[in-house]
Amino acid sequence: MKHHACWLVKQEPTAYSWQQFVSDGKTAWTGVRNFQARNNLLAMKLEDNVLFYHSVVGKEIVGVARVAKVAYPDPTATEGNWVCVDLVPDKPFPYPVTLDALKNHPTLCTIPLIRQSRLSVMPLEEADFKAIVNLGTKSI
Q: Which pLDDT score, from 0 to 100, does residue 117 have?
A: 85
Q: Could you tell me the pTM of the whole model?
A: 0.95
* Burial grade of 79 (CB within 10 A; 0-12, 13-18, 19 or more): exposed
Pick the CATH number of 6-137 from 3.10.590.10, 3.20.20.70, 3.40.50.300, 3.40.50.720: 3.10.590.10
Spatial neighbors of 119 by CB under 8 A, at least 6 apart, are: 10, 34, 36, 37, 112
Domains of the chain: which residue ranges? 6-137
pLDDT digits (tens, 9 = 90+) for 35-59: 999 999 999 999 999 999 999 999 9
pLDDT digits (tens, 9 = 90+) for 46-92: 999 999 999 999 999 999 999 999 999 999 999 999 999 999 999 99
Q: Which pLDDT score, from 0 to 100, does residue 1 have?
A: 46
Percent of the chain with pLDDT over 90: 92
Q: Which pLDDT score, from 0 to 100, does residue 88 have?
A: 98
